[in-house]
Amino acid sequence: MFFTEVEAKQLVAEELVEKLVNGKFRLLWDAKGRRNEALDCLVYASAALRVSVQRWQLDLEALATSRKSEEQDTPTLEQLAAMLAGGVNGNNH
């Protein structure tokens, strides 16, 4: 998995800091005003993948294979244009 510099900075934006909460010190994650949407998106996507695999037996390899075969069966734009240029039944009227 590759990230841009902006995404990489967002992934490490939060720090674990000790804060006083209700008279007790607690360890909390703090973004210190830095953006961290990339981290949130990565966590949500990972959770969605895990749920999809566990609950619905998602098989990414089978899905990729089926999409490749569908792409091969789908006509190109040029083929569609040629079919439309010939009319519905190949007639020009």
The pLDDT score that the predictor gives to residue 87 is 61
The 3 state secondary structure assigned to 31-59 is CCCCCCHHHHHHHHHHHHHHHHHHHHCCC
Query: Does the residue 73 lie in any domain?
Result: no
Query: Does the residue 24 lie in any domain?
Result: yes
Total tally of structural domains belonging to the chain: 1
Query: Does the residue 22 lie in any domain?
Result: yes
Query: Does the residue 31 lie in any domain?
Result: yes
pLDDT digits (tens, 9 = 90+) for 17-47: 999 999 999 999 998 888 888 878 888 999 9
pLDDT above 90 covers what percent of the chain? Answer: 28
Contacts 24+ apart (CB under 8 A), 6-13: 6/38, 7/38, 9/34, 10/34, 10/35, 10/36, 10/37, 10/38, 10/39, 11/36, 11/38, 11/39, 11/42, 13/39
Structural domain boundaries, residue 14: 5-60
